A and B are shown apart, each in its own frame.
Chain A
Amino acid sequence: MLDRLEHGAFRYFVDAANPENGLVADRSRKGSPASIAVVGFALSAYAVAVERGWLTREDAAARTLATLRFFAESAQGSTSDATGYKGFYYHFLDLQTGKRVWQCEVSPIDTALLLAGVLTAGAYFTGAPSSEAEIRALARDLYGRIDWDWARNGKAAVSQGWKPECGFLHYGWQGYNEAALLYVLGLGSPTHPLPSSSYPAWTATYQWECIYGHALLYAGPLFVHQFSHAWIDFRKIQDSFMREKGSDYFENSCRAVDVQREYARRDPNEYGTYGVDCWGLSACDGPSLGALRVRGRERRFFEYAARGAPFGPDDGTVAPVAALASLPFAPALALSAVRHFLELYPEWQESWQLPGGFNPAAPGADSRGWVSEGSYGLDQGLAVLMIENYRSGLIWKLMRSSPPIRLGLKRAGFRGGWL
Chain B
Amino acid sequence: MTASLSRRGPNPRGRYHLLIIGAGPAGLVAAQAAVRHGAKVALIERDLLGGTCLNKGCVPSKTIIRTSRLYREMRDAERLGGRVPSGIEVDFAAVMARVRRIRARLSERVSAERLAASGIDVYFGDARFAGRDSVTVEGSVLRFKRALVATGARPLRPPIPGLEESGYLTYDNVFDLTECPRRLLVIGGGPVGCELAQAFARLGARVTLVQDEPMFLGHEERDAAQLLSEALARDGIEIHLDTQTTRVHVEGRDKVADLVHDDVKRTVSVDQILVGVGTAPNVQGLNLEAAGVAYDAAAGIPVDDFLRTSNPSIFAAGDVCAENKFPHIETAAGRIVVENALFLGRQRLSAEVIPWCTFTDPEIAHVGMYVNEARQKNIPVKTFTVMMHEVDRAVTDGEEEGFVKVHVREGTGKILGATVVASHAGDLINEISLAMTAGLDLRALARVNQPYPTQSQAIRMAARAYVASRRTSVRAWLMRPHKAIRR
- Measuring CB to CB, which residues of chain A are less than 8 angstroms from any residue of chain B? 103, 163, 165-166, 169-172, 174-175, 204-213, 215, 244-245, 266, 268, 291, 296-298, 300, 310-313
Contact = CB atoms under 8 A, between A and B. Distances in A.
Given A169-B262, A171-B242, A298-B76, A208 B382 contact: yes
A244 B380 contact: yes
Contact of B222 (A174, A213, A312): A174
A300 B383 CA distance: 30
A203 to B, nearest CB: 9
Given A166-B262, A245-B410, A311-B223, 10 more contacts: A170-B214, A204-B375, A205-B371, A207-B381, A209-B382, A211-B387, A212-B387, A215-B382, A312-B227, A313-B230
B78 A297 contact: yes
A209 B405 contact: yes
B79 interface: yes
B376 A311 contact: no
Give the 7 A-B residue pairs with the shortest CB-CB distance, closest first: A268-B389, A165-B263, A171-B214, A166-B263, A209-B383, A311-B223, A296-B78
B400 interface: yes
B372 interface: yes
B298 interface: no
B214 A208 contact: no
A297 B400 CA distance: 15
B141 to A, nearest CB: 52
Nearest to A175: B222
B327 to A, nearest CB: 30
A296 B381 CA distance: 42
A18 to B, nearest CB: 28
Contact of A207 (B78, B79, B236, B383): B383
Given A208-B382, A298-B76, A310 B387 contact: yes
B457 to A, nearest CB: 16
Which of the listed residues A103, A172, A210, A296 has the most CB atoms from chain B within 10 Å of its own CB? A210
B371 A207 contact: yes
A296 B75 CA distance: 11
B403 interface: yes
A244 B410 contact: yes
8 contacts: A163-B263, A172-B214, A206-B375, A209-B405, A211-B385, A212-B390, A300-B234, A311-B403
Interface in B203-230: 214-215, 221-223, 226-227, 230
Nearest to B221: A207
Contact of B262 (A170, A208, A244, A312): A170
Nearest to A310: B387
A312 B385 contact: no
Which of the listed residues A103, A174, A212 has the most CB atoms from chain B within 10 Å of its own CB? A174
Contacts of A208: 381-383, 410
A210 B384 CA distance: 5
Nearest to B476: A246
B468 interface: yes
B218 to A, nearest CB: 11
Contacts of A211: 385, 387
Contacts of B389: 266, 268, 310
Contact of A210 (B214, B236, B382): B382
B384 A311 contact: no
Interface in B382-398: 382-385, 387, 389-390
Contact of B383 (A165, A170, A210): A210
A310 B385 CA distance: 10
B294 interface: no
Interface of B: 76, 78-79, 214-215, 221-223, 226-227, 230, 233-234, 236, 242, 262-263, 371-372, 375-376, 380-385, 387, 389-390, 400, 403, 405, 410, 465-466, 468-469
A165 B264 CA distance: 9
Nearest to A206: B375
B376 A204 contact: yes
Given A172-B214, A215-B382, A312 B226 contact: yes
Nearest to A163: B263
Contacts of B222: 174-175, 205
Which of the listed residues A170, A204, A213, A312 has the most CB atoms from chain B within 10 Å of its own CB? A170
A103 B234 CA distance: 30
A103 B262 CA distance: 11
Contact of B230 (A165, A205, A268, A312): A312
A163 B469 CA distance: 47
A7 B115 CA distance: 82
Contacts of B76: 298
B372 A205 contact: yes
Nearest to B408: A210
Contacts of A204: 372, 375-376
B214 A103 contact: no
A215 B469 CA distance: 9
Which of the listed residues B263, B400, B466, B469 has the most CB atoms from chain A within 10 Å of its own CB? B263
B374 to A, nearest CB: 10
A240 to B, nearest CB: 11
Contacts of A244: 380, 410
B126 to A, nearest CB: 42
Contacts of B214: 170-172
Contacts of B372: 204-205
Contacts of B236: 291
Nearest to B388: A268
A268 B400 CA distance: 8
A171 B227 CA distance: 18
Contacts of A210: 382-385, 465-466, 469
A163 B383 contact: no
A244 B379 CA distance: 11
Which of the listed residues B242, B387, B405 has the most CB atoms from chain A within 10 Å of its own CB? B387
B387 A268 contact: yes
A62 B411 CA distance: 55
Contacts of B468: 213
Contacts of A291: 234, 236
A362 to B, nearest CB: 16
Contacts of B79: 296-298
A367 B387 CA distance: 32
Contacts of A169: 262
A268 B465 CA distance: 20
Contacts of A312: 226-227, 230
Nearest to A311: B223
A311 B226 contact: yes
Contact of A103 (B215, B263, B380): B263
A166 B242 CA distance: 13
A268 B389 CA distance: 6
Nearest to B395: A268
A126 B400 CA distance: 56
Contacts of A212: 387, 390
